[in-house]
């Protein structure tokens, strides 16, 4: 918290400040009951009490009458204002009256993250500056400029607190450049040396900004680059700016900037090709450029390339048909199977083989162990769709108990079905004969074996009789 006292020596009571400013840096919003600061006298006097003169302000802020501490009562006052002003009057206990002198209180609320947001505006540029793009300036290597001439001026524009003042400091190249303070938030840069780009093609100037009220420096510096142009006949030099216009309507489409200076001198442009790796980069006659701004999204096969500092334009056409995709950025396509790398194909093949092997092992284990779940799944897949799940389950249960190796039922009108019917009659007669023989026999071993055979035969005959009227072409199962 910063306290600024402004005293008026002409007043009778020198102990009372005429103005008192409180600057409150905030990282988070204040809440009810938070302390805003303390109004201090030059010397503490026990017989003076503090009081806010405005009754409306008393609903928002309270002052301790003995210490002068200010307490926030209404936190909503920060939602629509950045400052708050009111007057403090003093009551004299011995004289039992208010003194004629008051103190004007000004409270400034500043959020630390908001004072960091600013922008710079450049103006009053020298004629030697060929081009300016944001914080980049292109200047000829040799230019007639005296030491007192201004290169450019800049203005600091706060985003949230437009009335606040910022101080600008040049951190380096102070022997080559000089920063001049013209007025609030406005500065100028001028050169001090005659040869600016004698040893280096570029100068990077680092600046620091300080907020005047809070005395806080901005967390990050900002950079200005001064880049020299040694040969104006070479059109492909780093940072050269270009503009794109439609050939027929002359509508402005976007801005380009040269990424690298070409080894060979390029004096004109005629064709272009979009980079395969980056759609925002194009090659215009072996000159690599970057797309900075685009005002249109339709593909072009021809456009006009213009330079503001060279005062010239070039008609540029596509040299390949694929370049018509320029200015129409397409999403990356999914790779097809035949375009996969060898290692990717090997991984896919291994995955397929692994799935097939696991499926085969599961089938073999179910076949050998006779797992009930596997049989249920098999019966449903083979018979469930034609006979219904309940009927398939009934057939499966019958075959599980009977341990019959194979049953095949063909169409009801086929010759084999007729033979089955005759066979059924013969088996019924044989069953009656067998029953009579079994009743006569007294041998226990033969009796038990015959009973088991007869039981299995009866179950088989019942199953055949129940399936006589089925119209299914075929039913097969293994138990």
Kindly report which listed range (2-6, 17-21, 252-256, 374-378) carries the lowest average pLDDT score.
2-6
Beta strand ranges found along 218-251 (DSSP E): 222-229, 241-245
- Report residue 469's pLDDT band, with 50, 70 and 90 as the boundaries: very low
Kindly calculate the radius of gyration of the chain based on its CA atoms and give it in whole angstroms: 48
SS3 state at 352: helix
Q: Give the highest mean pLDDT range of 7-11, 72-76, 232-236, 248-252.
A: 72-76
- pLDDT category at 369 given cuts 50, 70, 90 is low
Is the pLDDT reported for residue 186 higher than 90? Answer: yes
Q: What is the pLDDT of residue 430?
A: 54
H/E element holding 213? none
pLDDT at 22 over 80: yes
- How much is the pLDDT for 365? 78
**% residues pLDDT > 70 (the chain):** 64
Closest to 145 measured CA to CA, from 191, 197, 201? 191
Region 52-67: mean pLDDT is: 92
Average confidence (pLDDT) over 360-364: 81
| 344-348 average pLDDT score | 81
193-211 burial: b if 16+ Cβ within 10 Å, else e: eeebbeeeeebebebebeb
- CA neighbor of 265 nearest in space, from 250, 248, 239, 286: 286
Does domain 2-111 fall under CATH 1.10.10.1100? My reply is: no
Predicted confidence (pLDDT) at residue 213 exceeds the cutoff of 70 = yes
Q: What are the beta bridge partners of residue 89?
A: 51, 102
**Residues 236-261: what's their mean pLDDT?**
85
pLDDT at 476: 40
Banded model confidence at residue 477, pLDDT cuts 50, 70, 90: very low
- Which of the pair, 146 or 270, is modelled with greater confidence? 270
Whether residue 338 is predicted with pLDDT greater than 60 in this model: the reply is: no
Query: Do the domains 2-111 and 118-229 sit in the same CATH topology, yes or no?
Result: yes
Q: How confident is the model at residue 331 (pLDDT cuts 50, 70, 90)?
A: very low
Domain coordinates in residue numbering, the chain: 2-111, 118-229, 241-325, 337-369, 388-466
Give residue 441's pLDDT band: very low, low, confident or very high (50, 70, 90): very low
Q: Which two structure tokens, joined as six digits, stand for 465?
A: 């009789």
Cα–Cα distance list, 194 to 122, 142, 381 (Å)? 23, 9, 93
pLDDT the model gives residue 434: 52
CA 227/CA 139 separation, integer angstroms: 6
**CA nearest neighbour of 36 among 57, 56, 22, 19:** 22
Higher local confidence (pLDDT), 250 or 208: 208
For residues 312 and 301, give the distance between their C-alpha atoms in angstroms, rounded to a whole number: 20
Q: In this predicted structure, what is the pLDDT of residue 458?
A: 64
In CATH, 118-229 is 2.60.40.60: yes
């Amino acid at each position: 918290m910063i306290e600024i006292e402004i005293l008026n020596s002409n007043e009778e009571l020198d102990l009372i400040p005429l103005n008192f400013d409180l600057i409150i840096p905030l990282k988070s919003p204040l809440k009810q009951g938070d302390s805003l600061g303390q109004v201090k006298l030059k010397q503490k006097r026990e017989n003076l009490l503090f009081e806010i003169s405005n009754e409306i302000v008393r609903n928002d802020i309270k002052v301790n009458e003995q210490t002068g501490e200010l307490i926030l009562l209404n936190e909503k006052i920060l939602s629509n204002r950045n400052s708050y002003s009111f007057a403090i009057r003093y009551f004299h206990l011995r004289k039992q009256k208010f003194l004629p002198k008051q103190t004007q209180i000004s409270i400034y609320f500043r959020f630390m993250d908001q004072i960091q947001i600013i922008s710079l505006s450049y103006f009053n540029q020298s004629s030697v500056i060929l081009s300016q793009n944001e914080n980049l300036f292109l200047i000829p290597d040799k230019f007639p400029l005296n030491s007192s001439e201004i290169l450019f001026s800049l203005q600091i524009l706060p985003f949230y607190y437009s009335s606040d003042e910022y101080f600008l400091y040049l951190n380096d190249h102070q022997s080559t450049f000089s920063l001049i303070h013209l007025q609030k938030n406005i500065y100028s840069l001028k050169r001090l040396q005659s040869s600016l780009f004698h040893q280096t093609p570029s100068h990077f100037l680092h600046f620091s900004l300080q907020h005047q009220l809070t005395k806080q420096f901005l967390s990050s510096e900002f950079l200005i680059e001064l880049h020299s142009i040694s040969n104006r006949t070479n059109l492909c030099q780093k940072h050269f700016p270009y503009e794109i216009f439609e050939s027929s309507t002359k509508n402005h489409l976007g801005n380009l900037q040269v990424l690298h200076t070409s080894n060979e001198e390029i004096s004109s442009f005629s064709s272009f090709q979009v980079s395969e790796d980056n759609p925002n980069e194009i090659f215009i006659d072996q000159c690599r450029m970057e797309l900075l701004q685009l005002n249109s999204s339709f593909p072009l096969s021809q456009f006009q390339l213009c330079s503001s500092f060279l005062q010239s334009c070039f008609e540029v056409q596509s040299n390949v048909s694929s370049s018509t995709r320029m200015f129409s950025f397409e999403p990356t396509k999914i790779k097809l199977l035949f375009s996969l790398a060898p290692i990717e194909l090997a991984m896919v093949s291994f995955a397929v083989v692994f799935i097939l092997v696991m499926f085969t092992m599961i089938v073999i284990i179910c076949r050998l162990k006779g797992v009930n779940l596997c049989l249920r799944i098999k019966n449903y897949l083979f018979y469930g769709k034609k006979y219904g799940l309940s009927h398939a389950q009934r057939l499966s249960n019958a075959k599980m108990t009977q341990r019959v190796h194979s049953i095949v039922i063909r169409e009801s009108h086929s010759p084999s079905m007729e033979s089955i019917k005759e066979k059924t009659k013969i088996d019924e007669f044989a069953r009656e004969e067998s029953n009579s023989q079994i009743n006569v026999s007294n041998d226990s071993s033969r009796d038990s074996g015959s009973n088991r055979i007869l039981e299995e035969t009866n179950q088989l005959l019942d199953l055949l009789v129940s399936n006589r009227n089925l119209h299914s072409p075929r039913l097969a199962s293994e138990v």
